[in-house]
Structure 1
Amino acid sequence: MKPTTKVINTPKISSFLKAFIAAFCFIIVLVSCAEKSGKISLDEARARTQVIPVSQGIRYQDSFTSARAQLRRLVTDSNFLGRKFNLPNAETFNRDAIALLLNVDSADGIRVYLAEDEKGLLKMVLVPVDKNGKDIITQLIGNNTAVRIPGISSAYARPGDGQVVENGQVCPPCEIGK
């Protein structure tokens, strides 16, 4: 007797189905690798050393506002403070700008410098610092281009200069908790 070979017909998988399965697997891999909460990891005990109750923050802000008003009354040249110390209540920086600073190699925190721009306006300049509190001056982003928004000027770091974060949204109108 001669052995018989049985041929099993397997259905052909269409190229569309192959592409669909590959795309589905790729999406599953991407989803499984994505951050689940969207939160930045942190050491809560270390963060706790710099957290205060909002009521204390409001008292600090009220005290500053009051002292600024008192200083304006005491200075004989009423325009001097407006020209030289146009003090905002606060300045807001977006999450991406903060992440950019914290993502610098060896960054352990952010230092906020009070500064004055060419027009005499008070600005807050943010710089990453290492664990020893030393400023880290480096290129934060490689491409020195910006989105053009009518009426808003853009500043660019020159090639070779380090970069810092500055263009926050100045307040008022803002108050803690409101």
Structure 2
Amino acid sequence: MPLPFLTADRASDQAADDLPLPYVDRDRWRRPYRPGPWRVGTAALLLLFASYVLFAAVVIALAGTPSDAGTVFGVASAVIAVALRLLRMGVWVSARGLRRVGFLLTRTVRWQHIVSVRTVQQPVRWLGLPRTVQGQALVLVRQGGGPAPETVLTSHNADFLARPQAFDRAADTVEAWAAEFGRS
């Protein structure tokens, strides 16, 4: 079963070279990078755990009561939903704007409301934990501003930890999308 949210879209070899963004369908939401090994590994461990819980649900259904089996099946379904949501988290772009998908909340900012998107050196959270380390962050500044720019990506999150080239490519791609669609 193909899972399109696991891979970043790759431009076909036949795409026009004169286009700054080599995607034909720019209205489709796409992640400009591949999920990192920390995110994929965590999701894989959760899915492995869910398989054991599903097996337990079958055993309980055969030997126990249907309500107990239903409860365990519900727990397995919740674990699977959490794993899939972890894989879906990240930054997505389209011609409509920039979308940040979090675990519980998704926010979309239209390109017209973004003043700038740039990479800066600053203290960033390591794997989303309270500990901060010096790293790079892709920040966006909205029209009307606010007290501080919003952090979109960091070089030490679950997608880019120990992968600085991947962070640079993703940041450059998001900046290219902002340059292309922010001016229209």
TM-score (norm: length of structure 1): 0.23
Q: Which has the larger share of strand?
A: 2
Higher alpha-carbon Rg: 1
TM-score (norm: length of structure 2): 0.23
